[in-house]
Amino acid sequence: MNGYAGNKDDLLKRLSRAEGQVRGIARMVENDKYCIDILTQVSAATSALETVALSLLADHLSHCVAEATAEGGAVAAEKIREANEAIARMVRS
């Protein structure tokens, strides 16, 4: 079972809202809206996706990494490496 199983419905709702925001941004560009207004909406959509990412990361750490750490050895090292790489990707973006 995935660590986010308990939050799946919430994640899907958040992703659906972000999808709607992105479609709205595309309509704004199509309709030649003011750049700053578009940038404001891009920032909101980015924030919505970051919220999803942080939730998934928290679930991964508390479920997958915690289980692997209890098991120890190479499995634990691999899960920690994966988590570190995911965090690095999030920080760079």
For residues 4 and 11, give the distance between their C-alpha atoms in angstroms, rounded to a whole number.
Answer: 8
Q: pLDDT tens digits, residue range 65-79?
A: 999 999 999 999 999
Distance of CA 71 to the CA centre of its chain: 27
Q: pLDDT tens digits, residue range 12-58?
A: 999 999 999 999 999 999 999 999 999 999 999 999 999 999 999 99
pTM for this model (two decimals): 0.83
